[in-house]
Every structure is written in C-alpha cells, then in structure tokens.
Amino acid sequence: MLTNNDIAKLIAALSGTLITKDDLKGFATKDDLKNFATKDDLKEFAKKDDLKGFATKDDLKSFATKDDLKGFATKDDLKNFATKDDLKGFATKDDLKNFATKDDLKDFATKDDLKSFATKDDLVKVEKKINTIDEKIDRNGKMIQDLDERVDTLGKEVVDYTKDHYGAHQKLLDDHDSRIQVLEQLHV
C-alpha cells in the first residue's frame, strides 16, 4: 500500500505540467480555422485519446509494497488511500510524453488571436465591392463617352448654325449698305 507521502510525491510530479480539457477551451481548433484566411494552418494538436500501456514493474519500484508498509498504518487508517490495484488504468510516465503541456501551447493561435484576421466572408465582401466599383467605373466611362460624342455633335451644329447665320447676317449688311448707297445717290 502507498503512504500519504508516496501519493503526495506522485501528485506533485504530475501536477502543473499536464493540461486539462478546460485549459484548452480558449484555444482555436482546426475547425475554428476553417472560416479564417490564415497564412499557415496549425499543424499539430495535443492527442488526448492515445494512451498506451500501463505502469510497468520498473515504474513501480519506487513505490512501497504492502510488506514495506507493515507497522505504519492499519487498514482503517488507509480506507481513504488508493492501493496499487486502484491505480491500475492510470497513465504512466511514458504515456504522458504524448500529451501537450501548457508550455507547448504558447506557439498555437488562440481564438482571440484570430480576431484580427480577415475571414473568407470578409474577402468575398471586398471582392463584391470591387466588382460593384468596376461596374460603376465602366458605366460612368460609357456615359462620359456618350457625353463627349454629344458635345462634339453640338459643337458641329453650333459651327454650322453660326456659319449659316453669319452668312445671312452678312447678306443683310450688304443689302443694307447697298440701300444706303442708293438712298445717298437719290438725295444728292
């Protein structure tokens, strides 16, 4: 049987480095990344269900046996303590090598880290805005071209109108001058 001191050593050796499912709640999973445009995908996540093997005899050499505990405590004293049989099924030191520690998580992105990145939906919205602006530019370009053509046409019409009216005006002036000459000759 194990002593309080042995169990305390075991707990101290394992606590503080292992992570729990609660410790992972604030971290992004690959599913969380599906809707985000990122430079690189996260490559590794901690494996939790990959426990292999049980405690070996070598692992148990540092633990006390029932014979080692003779004279230390009675069964009544140990009712609240675990026996070796109670520890069957718990992870060994080798089993824990495949688990991530809190220090291992420092290089992985959290959900909060993803907030400053554009989502695929954001990129689609930007593309739609660009397409809308391009359509407006094309439409405005056609309108400007039509207006340029109308200005050219109006300019030609003004020139033609001016020529026609200038010619008619000049004819009236010439007629007027001729009449004045005739009147002057008659008065002389």
Give me the half-sphere count of Cα atoms (radius 13 Å) on the Cβ side of residue 28. 21
pTM: 0.29
Q: Which residues of the chain have pLDDT under 70?
A: 1, 8, 10-18, 33, 36-59, 69, 72-73, 78, 188
Measured distance CA(47)–CA(41) in Å, rounded: 17
C-alpha dist (Å) from residue 116 to 32, 107, 110: 14, 17, 11
pLDDT in tens, 18-60: 677 777 788 777 787 677 654 554 344 333 343 345 555 666 7
C-alpha dist (Å) from residue 129 to 71, 126, 140: 83, 5, 16
Measured distance CA(130)–CA(21) in Å, rounded: 44
